[in-house]
């Protein structure tokens, strides 16, 4: 198995969606392709196999797909970070800035134990808002974040720089310039 696989060959760009000027990076063709999805997961897991990860935190909703698969391959637990109001048990939440307003994400209060090694996973890093919010939730639990991991990074939007400035290691399989 080679690790020179480029997931871009399976990522579709949809111009002007959800609004004019945005180049949406659609991962559904990647998920539909058995070998492409497998190679993506192998490449995402490989750097963390020796890290002793206790939990993978996946961000609502596409982060659940990659995060759960990574947790399975790493032999560890999976914790969902959901949009506000979606979890059935006692939770903690964090607000974060959107382009036009704010949003909140939450996690169950008993999801992470102090000192656990955690990996944050999403499909894409854009402005970094949701990953930074997940990082804040994890810090409230006194756990250690190993890295922020995604399939795609959009470095021109500044999210990966914000994550690094917060002290996080950032790992992404591929980058796209622009929005």
How many alpha carbons lie under 13 Å from residue 17 in its C-beta half-sphere?
Answer: 7
Residues β-bridged to residue 179: none
| Bridge partners, residue 80, by sequence | 58
Residues identified as active-site = 62, 99
Determine if residue 85 is left, alpha or beta; phi over 0 gives left, psi from -120 to 50 gives alpha, anything else beta: left
CA distances from 129 to 35, 59, 86, 112, 124 (A): 31, 11, 19, 21, 11
């Amino acid at each position: 198995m080679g690790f020179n696989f480029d997931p871009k060959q399976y990522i579709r760009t949809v111009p002007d969606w959800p609004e004019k000027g945005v180049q949406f990076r659609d991962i559904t063709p990647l998920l539909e392709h058995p070998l492409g999805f497998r190679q993506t997961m192998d490449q995402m897991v490989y750097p963390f196999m020796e890290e002793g990860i206790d939990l993978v935190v996946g961000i609502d909703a596409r982060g659940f797909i990659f995060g759960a698969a990574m947790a399975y391959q790493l032999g560890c637990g999976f914790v969902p970070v959901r949009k506000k109001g979606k979890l059935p048990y006692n939770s903690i939440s964090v607000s974060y800035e959107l382009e036009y307003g704010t949003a909140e994400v939450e996690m169950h209060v008993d999801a992470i134990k102090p000192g656990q090694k955690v990996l944050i996973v999403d499909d894409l890093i854009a402005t970094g808002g949701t990953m930074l919010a997940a990082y804040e939730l994890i810090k409230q639990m006194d756990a250690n974040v190993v890295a922020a991991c995604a399939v795609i990074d959009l470095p021109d939007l500044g999210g990966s720089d914000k994550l690094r400035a917060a002290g996080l290691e950032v790992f992404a399989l591929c980058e796209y310039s622009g929005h």
